Amino acid sequence: MSRIRALFARKNPAFIGFTVAGDPGIEASFRAAAAMVDAGVDLLEIALPYSDPVADGPVIERAHVRALRAGTTPDDAFALVRRVREYAPLLPIVLFTYYNIIYHRGTDRFFADAAAAGADGVLVVDLPAEESGEVAPSALRHGIDRIALIAPTTSAERQHAILRGASGFVYLISLEGVTGERDRLPPNLAGLVGTVREKTDLPIAVGFGVSRPEHVAAVVEAGANGVIVGSALVRAIEEHVGDEAGMQDALRTAVRSLRGGLVPRSRT
C-alpha cells in the first residue's frame, strides 16, 4: 500500500502542510520541514521554487523568490525530499510544481528522480487534463500519484475529465482566487465537497484560505478527508528569516495550534 493510501486508510482527517524547497535557504528549508514533521503534519507538500507561481498569493510568492535567490534548483528540491524521507520514512510527500520545470528537465527523468528521492505524488498546478498525455505514463511507470486539482468554478464535465487520470487524493480549492490567509471560508464548502465526492472514491483534501483552527474544524465538518495549510505556515518562516530556532518554534506552534481544529471522526 502506498504511503498516501495508508494515510487516508486510517479514516481520520489528515493535516497537510506546505513549504517551498529552499525557503529561506537550502539547509533552513530542511529544518523547517523537520519542525513541521515533529509537530504532527500527516503529509507534506514541497513546492519546487518557480519564477512565476501564478496559483499562489503574495506570501507564497515571496517564498519562491527567497528560494530562488538562495540558488535553489530542482536538484536541491529532490535532495530535500531525500532528507525528509530519511527523517520521516512513513510520511507521504507530494511535490507541488509547474509544468515548465517538468518539461525542462524531461518528463520521464523528472518522475524517475521524484520517485528515487522518495516522493509519493506530484501536483502539476498548470497542466490541463487535456494536455497530460505525456505526464500520465511517466507518473504511472515510476509509481507516482498524480494529484487532481479542482476549483470551485470547475464544471461537472471537467471534474470528470480531471478525476479520470487522478490518484492519491483530490486537492479541492475552497474558494476563487489565489492562495492566502482569509478571515473566513465560503459557507457552501460542504456542498462543494459533496459534489466532488459524488464523482470519485479518492480522498478529498481542502486547501486555499485555511489559516485558523476554526477553519480546520470547518473543513472537517464539511466532510473533507484532509486539510491543507500553506500560507499560514510559510508566513511563520518569513517572519523568522535569519532566526532558525525561532522559525522552528513558530512552525511547531502553528502546526499544533491548527491541528487543534482537526477533530478526528470516522469516514465512510
pLDDT tens, the chain, 268 aa long: 799 999 999 989 999 999 999 999 999 999 999 999 999 999 999 999 999 988 788 999 999 999 999 999 999 999 999 999 999 999 999 999 999 999 999 999 999 999 999 999 999 999 988 888 889 999 999 999 999 999 988 999 999 999 998 999 999 997 654 454 455 566 788 999 999 999 999 999 999 879 899 999 999 999 999 999 999 999 999 999 999 999 999 999 999 999 999 864 444 3
Residue 146 lies in a domain: yes
Q: Is residue 198 among the annotated active site residues?
A: no
Residue 266 lies in a domain: no
Please choose, from the candidates 213, 225, 235, 209, the residue with its C-alpha nearest in 3D space to the C-alpha of residue 264: 225
Residue 205 is which amino acid?
A: A
Angle between helices 244-259 and 231-238 (to 10 degrees): 160
CATH number for the domain spanning 67: value is 3.20.20.70
Query: What are the DSSP E strand ranges found in 135-237?
Result: 145-146, 148-150, 170-173, 204-207, 226-229
Residue 30 lies in a domain: yes
Q: Is 4:121 a contact under the CB 8 Å cutoff? A: yes
Chain-centroid distance of CA 152 in Å reads 18
- As a whole number of Å, the CA-based R_g of the chain is 17
Q: What 3-state class would DSSP assign to 193?
A: helix
Residue 264 lies in a domain: no
Identified catalytic residue from 56, 120, 145, 181? 56
List the Cα angle 265/266/268 in 5-degree steps: 145
Residue 268 lies in a domain: no
Query: What is the distance between the alpha carbons of residues 267 and 10, in angstroms, rounded to a whole number?
Result: 9
Largest CA distance in the chain: 48
Residue 218 lies in a domain: yes
Identified catalytic residue from 45, 61, 120, 145? 45
Going 39 to 41 to 46 to 51, the CA torsion angle's sign is negative
Q: Is residue 45 among the annotated active site residues?
A: yes
- By residue range, what is the domain housing residue 79? 3-259
The model carries a pTM of 0.93
Q: Is 45:228 a contact under the CB 8 Å cutoff? A: yes
Residue 224 lies in a domain: yes
Residue 265 lies in a domain: no
Angle between helices 213-221 and 244-259 (to 10 degrees): 40
Domain count, the chain: 1
